Amino acid sequence: MEKKNIINSKKENSEYNYYLKPLIDEIFQQKVVGVEGYLMSSESNFNEDRHINGVIDESNKAKHEFVKKVKTENVINRFDTLGLNEQGLSVYLLMKTYDLVVLTGAMGSGKTATSRFVLDFFKKNHRCKDLECNCSIKENSIISLNFNEGFNLRDPDKVFIKFNDKFYKKLLRKVKPILKKDSNIFLRFIDRICDRSFDEDGESEFEEFVSIIEDDIGEWNKWLFSKKINAFFKWLENHDDIDVKIELLGYIIRYIRKNIYKRKECFILFFDNIDQLPEIAQNMIISSIFRFTEISKVVTLLNVRLTSFGWVPAKASFSWVHYQHAGADPLEIILRRIDYFLNNQSHSNYELIKSSIPNHLYELFIIRLNYIKHLIVEKERLRKCMIAIGGNSVRRSLFLATRIFYNYVVSIDSKEPYENDIIRALLLNASESHDFKQDDRLICNIYLNNKNGGFSIMKLRILQFLHYNKINNKRTTLQSLLDHLKWFYQKLQNSELLFCINDLLNDRRRLIYLDGIGYFENINKLYTCPNENINITFSGIKYYKELSCDLVYIQESFESIDWDNGYSMPNYVDHSVFSDRVYITRLGMRHLFTEDKKQTKFFLKHSNLSNFRMNQFLSTEIIYNCARSFFLISLGQIKTDQLRSEINNWVSLLLDVYNSEISTFGIENMNYYKLIDDISDYYNVKLN
């Protein structure tokens, strides 16, 4: 649909965008921990479905008791100063039941930041520094492997070889100094492996070296400690098979962990950013990590997106525990970034960039920054939109925040722009044509049905069913979803189904997820996974409950759709005429309700209602919120004949929904009744 007479601020904003973009990018750099420091979690992290197994979950009494124990026994100094999310992760790392902790969370949600903060906290506050601790070495040891560093290969086999090489070198670098630090530690280990009455900790794996000692025990006893330990590591490193060498180091670490580092937090393995590797390589490496943890019995923290971890076959063969990460609220971090900049404008990070910005543009930016901060704090609609689009991802939310300042929607000369225009800037980015891109990588148009831009409510149907099952604690499989959709569609179109599910699975803005599946190459692949669990994400819930009802989102979504296949929609919309935008949106709402009503009646006639109960149409709240928003805006408009006519049509639509709900569900929607009454009184509309 062509947009005419758009207020385009390209001319006013071009210079501003050119000079301010580097500073905007610096303030909202996509690092979870910026110059303002780490933001500790709070109770808000565990609200509104953001976290499913945090330490405040009253159903997990054993975990609660362990939290109390950690606090009372002072296993970690200053444990009470940690936030709920940090305490939760700490508890999982300290519990004796599991050695492997799998930390999952949305891409960019701050898994790395939280993990590093907690591990650093352990290092600074663990009790091994105290005299009464019975650990032989009074320091904390962490072996960390970040897959963002040096793993730019795409061949899975080469990636795995690279992993083995780096992991072996890191293990060796850590183990050697520990055994060399105290001769008694190493010699006790040799005595252990030479005593064949022991074999519960892999002692027999060193039988070859034991035989070398026994062949010339007299010579061995004459050797100095340095020669003995060098001979041992030379024997280990001479093995051709790197898997064997890693396994042997695993058994050595098992001994070290059991006899030297008595507390779990004293020796930890940490693997991060494995998601960026090819899927096959992820599978191979995660399986290897599982095996190594089983051998070494050392605490291991593995950060991974749930969609990557879900399909790893090896997870069924080993013991592990899952902790779902709920990092700091992205909006809190955005506000902290703004506050930090406003209070530290002379910081070295900003000073050099500022020196190249003309003073008048910088002053306008400061005005805008203060105003945006005010809007985020005071305006619920803007917050809801930012939360829905950003989800739990701090990185995505920070990137989206730059759209508020770097765009052609809101003129820099406008000191207090409308909230609607700020939301529109989020959706349109720096698009000179003012289009909501159908393939926007960060924002999903849930009214699109295919790559050609057609209209559909299938994505809403999918989100509706997943949300219903979530709040009713029901498991949803892909097959149950497909069966559910068939009750709404007399003939389910495979192309539409495939596009809608893949679009909702998009890893840049994931609204649903299947364990270990990020994309279906074709419809046959989709139908071969009937028993896979399918879930709605935090963003998916917010899209379904809030963003789908937002006036600006609806307007931009409808205007980006290619209305064909029998839909009577005009070819263009005139943005200079308020009633024209009202007209276009109302036509879209009419098509939405017509399709919804037809599908719902088919569902009620043929389906098993025990699995899914409905008391209103899917489009009821969407149409109500849209009509109410337009009515409130119209109060400031001149009552032209064109506007009066359009208002009459809106009232007709509202009456249709109101009466259809009574006849279909036997329920009178009093919100509709009041809104119809208010509009009719103000515009003197005669009701039939």
Which pLDDT does position 56 carry in this prediction?
Answer: 37
pLDDT at 654 over 90: yes
Which pLDDT does position 140 carry in this prediction?
Answer: 66
Q: What is the DSSP letter of 126?
A: B
Which pLDDT does position 309 carry in this prediction?
Answer: 66
Round the average pLDDT of the chain to a whole number and report it: 85
How far is Cα 476 from Cα 483, in angstroms, rounded to an integer?
11
pLDDT band at 70 (very low <50, low <70, confident <90, very high): low
Give the DSSP letter string of 486-555: HTT-SS--HHHHHHHHHHHH-TTS-SEEETTB---SSHHHHHT-TT-BEEE-HHHHHHHHTGGG-HHHHH
Q: How does pLDDT run across 498-548, given as a tens digit for each residue?
A: 999 999 998 888 899 887 788 899 999 999 988 888 999 999 999 999 999
Which pLDDT does position 50 carry in this prediction?
Answer: 53
Percent of the chain with pLDDT strictly greater than 70 = 88
How far is Cα 3 from Cα 435, in angstroms, rounded to an integer?
8
pLDDT band at 59 (very low <50, low <70, confident <90, very high): very low
Which pLDDT does position 238 carry in this prediction?
Answer: 93
pLDDT at 659 over 80: yes
Which pLDDT does position 46 carry in this prediction?
Answer: 57
168: three-class secondary structure by DSSP: helix
Give the DSSP letter string of 434-480: ----TT-SS---TTB-STT--B--HHHHHHHHHHHHHHTT---BHHH
Q: Tell me the average pLDDT across 670-674.
A: 92
Percent of the chain with pLDDT strictly greater than 90 = 44
Sort strands 512-514 and 534-536 into parallel, antiparallel or unpaired: antiparallel
Which pLDDT does position 52 carry in this prediction?
Answer: 45
pLDDT at 135 over 60: no
Q: Tell me the average pLDDT across 4-14.
A: 74
Residue with tokens 């190459």: 521
- Contacts of residue 582, Cβ cutoff 8 Å, sequence gap at least 6: 630, 634, 643, 646, 650
Better-scored residue on pLDDT, 349 or 132: 349
pLDDT at 55 over 50: no
Q: And the tokens for 170?
A: 């890191």
pLDDT at 66 over 70: no
Which pLDDT does position 9 carry in this prediction?
Answer: 75
Q: Hey, what amino acid is at 455?
A: F
- Cβ count near 500 (within 10 Å): 24
Taking alpha carbons only, the member of 562, 550, 570, 492 closest to residue 526 is 492
pLDDT band at 613 (very low <50, low <70, confident <90, very high): confident
pLDDT at 287 over 80: yes
